[in-house]
Chain A
Amino acid sequence: MSVLKTENVIMQFGGVVAVNDLNLDIQKGELAALIGPNGAGKTTAFNVITGVYTPTSGRVLFSPTDQSGTTTAIDISGKRPDTITALGIARTFQNIRLFSDLSVLENVLIATHLNIDYSFLSAMLRLPKARKGEQQAREKCEFLLERMGLIDLKDEKASSLPYGQQRHLEIARALATDPQLLLLDEPAAGMNPQETDELTDLIFKLKTDFDLTIFMIEHHMDLVMEISDHIYVLDFGCTIARGTPEQIQNDPKVIEAYLGVDEDVEN
């Protein structure tokens, strides 16, 4: 069953076609990856899905599962980013975008704002409802920080964290919005091989523990080939290939555009 489906999505900025005829079909519970050379339009594709840009043409269909277990496909193209997040798509950013002046805990708490059930008036008077809501949000966020190994740093300023932990915090923050589909924009960027390995394990665990569908952009081919179920390859805004890691590794078009000729394959 597909969770996210894009139909002939075109994103044009003036004369530049950043994404040309994007057709994704991401199944529930899978881990899909989007790869491609620099400037291929990967982040633009993410921005179209999350509502930062309204596509020039085409449809983006998201099928969240509600509490009763039924799924309905919703056309989310052109909806506001916060509406899309509320529907169940959360994301991280390629160039980390934390609320750098706020504490680690506050960063995660902000992501629970869309689920609060008390009004600003009861917040100003600190009525029992507001106090209870605050308590629940705090517990949830502390649990997520614990899960991401950041609980001891919860009162630190977000900007004071080392780079790798800022990436972890971004994931924790995205998880606090209760997503069904998690978009990770280069989660392993700037990480050393060991950190990348740890991240690979973490992403895999999060997927099962939180019952997520994950769609990620990544340049670390080891990571991508190891954990992805499906891979989409983008070049100059066009999807040049799609398939399982094996299919992609052996696709001549992909090798030419992106992977390069691997000596082992030649031998």
Chain B
Amino acid sequence: MKNTQNSLGTYLKIHWKTIAFLIVVLVGIGIADQMVNSFVRRLLNLSAIYTIVALSMNLINGFTGQFSLGQAGFMAIGAYTVAIFTVPVGLRSTIFYMEPMAPFLANIQLPFVAALLLGGVLTTIVAFFIGAPCLRLRGDYLAIATLGFSEIIRIVFTNTQNITNGALGIKSIPTISSLWWTFGTAIIIIIACFLLINSSYGRAFKSIREDEIAAEAMGVGLFKTKMTSFLISAFFTGIGGGLYAALLGTVDPKQFYFTLTYNFVLIIVLGGMGSISGTIIASFVVTLGQEALRFLDEPMAFGLDLPIFRPGLRMVVFSFLLMVVVLFYRKGLMGTNELTWDFIAQKWHSIKAWFGRKTASSQGGDK
């Protein structure tokens, strides 16, 4: 008994900063949940969902080094599962007015959590069948194949009128508004990913990223390990997609166009391929930034009637940002580092040292 207390004591001693930080975050979410208006609330929810999807994309792209572009398709499966199974049975005939819902689905309604998990599971199953042939490919082929499958998923959803209501989409999905759903899920997934990356499985993922031949020679089964990473990634993406559907209250195939995937590519490249904390930071920066820069999309005239500001201009900012990152921060904001207390302390020292040198050299100049 004493032993467990001791180990708990040392555990607290080592991790007190992290635990304190986590408590601050949780209290912050609690306060924000009470205070913020619906616009900010939606943005924060969206940021949390983007964190989930981007993090799961980073798992396969950044940590395992397999460039997969199937995120939009996987999100669609999760989102449609939640949509199909949570829309109240009574409303279904009004939504599916072109063609009634398939009888085997028409009367099934699941609680939100069950539908969310089912979405994750279905995404994983589909990912297995995509991964089985694709993960044997190396390099760019995987990216092309997953991108193709992602589009196939979208087109299938557009054409299965009696299940997904086709191009009309599904409306009246019971929405979530509390921040706890999205942030709670995001925190659980972040912790799970962190523990996974710091286990033997995470190291096996990284070994494949570093050198496939050496990894294989050290007994890491390439296909099996890539598949593990791909399926975990798909599961979390499916969950993210389900939350996305429940946040928006409506799904239609156009939302899951392949450009959605590029949002996540942008996030993981900005944040750092292979960094969990970088992904989290970049998810919030990109999601909030896309809203904050919305004024750029509105027509505006500077004396002359030049249409400089026009829809789509805010994306130019992100293109520019991406170019700057690619040119000067090849590895993104965090590279493969994590924002640990040691990392912060180290940065702080180097900043202090830099200022110290500055003042020292300016004093030297005075003499």
Contact = CB atoms under 8 A, between A and B. Distances in A.
B219 A86 contact: yes
Given A82-B220, A99-B214, A123 B232 contact: no
Interface stretch (B32-40, B122-130, B192-200): B192-200
Interface stretch (B50-58, B205-213, B311-319): B205-213
A101 interface: yes
Interface in B167-203: 192-193, 195-196, 199-203
Interface residues of A, number: 38
B211 A106 contact: no
Contact of B210 (A81, A83, A85, A101): A101
A134 B195 CA distance: 12
B142 interface: no
A192 B336 CA distance: 35
Given A101-B210, A137-B200, A113 B218 contact: yes
B215 interface: yes
A62 B195 CA distance: 37
B26 interface: no
Contacts of A109: 200, 203
Given A82-B221, A111-B219, A120 B201 contact: yes
A136 B194 CA distance: 20
Nearest to B193: A124
A72 interface: no
Interface stretch (A125-133, A216-224, A241-249): A125-133
A106 B219 contact: no
B301 interface: no
Contacts of B193: 124
Nearest to B207: A110
Contacts of B290: none
Interface stretch (A22-30, A90-98, A201-209, A256-264): A90-98
A170 B203 CA distance: 16
B199 A99 contact: no
29 contacts: A52-B213, A81-B213, A82-B216, A82-B219, A82-B220, A85-B217, A85-B219, A86-B219, A90-B217, A97-B214, A97-B217, A99-B210, A99-B215, A100-B210, A101-B210, A101-B336, A102-B207, A110-B200, A110-B203, A110-B204, A113-B201, A114-B218, A123-B201, A124-B192, A124-B196, A124-B199, A125-B192, A126-B195, A133-B200
Interface of B: 192-193, 195-196, 199-204, 206-207, 210-211, 213-222, 228, 232, 336
Given A99-B207, A100-B211, A111-B218, 9 more contacts: A80-B216, A81-B217, A101-B210, A101-B336, A112-B200, A113-B203, A114-B220, A123-B195, A137-B200
